A and B are shown apart, each in its own frame.
Chain A
Amino acid sequence: GIQVEQSPPDLILQEGANSTLRCNFSDSVNNLQWFHQNPWGQLINLFYIPSGTKQNGRLSATTVATERYSLLYISSSQTTDSGVYFCAVVSDGGSQGNLIFGKGTKLSVKP
């Protein structure tokens, strides 16, 4: 099955810093989502981005489907950005709606 690898696994930032999180996947996909799991465990939708670029405030994401990767950019990080960021995909050959999750990037933003 499709493999989803996220890097880095852990990231510690000072408040105000910028960061880039990466998601590599091993097969073509028809669905790619980024989620933020906050310290209370909630999974917050960030982007639905099987291809192209989107921006939402301080966050933006780019997926280059032909090269099988996606990037999540966080600018001017805040302590509330702390948590785990997951990339999840549905492969073209996979079961519909079967999101395959990466292991996540744990982000800690220090004041």
Chain B
Amino acid sequence: DTAVSQTPKYLVTQMGNDKSIKCEQNLGHDTMYWYKQDSKKFLKIMFSYNNKELIINETVPNRFSPKSPDKAHLNLHINSLELGDSAVYFCASSRYQGMDTGELFFGEGSRLTVL
């Protein structure tokens, strides 16, 4: 059973389009995250949700909008895609939200290519 699953794994689209990436975790965790890995392999947090509530919102263009329908799902919607949005997007989850979030578990990543 896949603990943190993302769909789609690959996404190729044109500039200006809108796209979504879905994430689901079956670990029973309370907190979910989106991380972005750029072309130089650098990983950085974008958003964090705890039990459907936004906790962390790093400096991300407002074209990116996370949505959490329930604590097992955290989707990422991107409007008006730009070339610079090309990256690998990782979803993650952890059991806790607090002083010690515990171990984070990552999905397999979704590679977005904007042409």
Contact = CB atoms under 8 A, between A and B. Distances in A.
Nearest to B58: A98
A45 B90 CA distance: 14
B90 A43 contact: yes
Contacts of A41: 88, 108-109, 111
17 contacts: A30-B100, A33-B103, A33-B104, A41-B88, A42-B108, A43-B106, A50-B100, A84-B41, A88-B43, A88-B104, A95-B55, A96-B101, A97-B97, A98-B48, A99-B45, A101-B42, A101-B43
Nearest to B103: A48
Given A48-B102, A96-B99, A43 B109 contact: yes
Nearest to B106: A43
A41 B37 CA distance: 10
B15 to A, nearest CB: 24
Given A97-B94, A99-B35, 15 more contacts: A31-B100, A33-B104, A41-B109, A42-B108, A48-B102, A50-B100, A88-B43, A88-B104, A95-B48, A96-B55, A96-B56, A98-B45, A103-B41, A103-B42, A104-B41
A33 B35 CA distance: 15
Interface residues of A, number: 23
Interface of B: 31, 33, 35, 40-45, 48, 55-56, 58, 88, 90, 94, 97-106, 108-109, 111
A98 B56 contact: yes
Nearest to B94: A97
Contacts of A104: 41
Interface in A48-93: 48, 50, 84, 86, 88, 90
A47 to B, nearest CB: 9
Interface string A14-39: 00000000000000001101010100
B105 A45 contact: yes
B103 A30 contact: no
Contacts of A45: 103, 105-106
Nearest to A101: B43
A97 B111 contact: no
Nearest to A41: B109
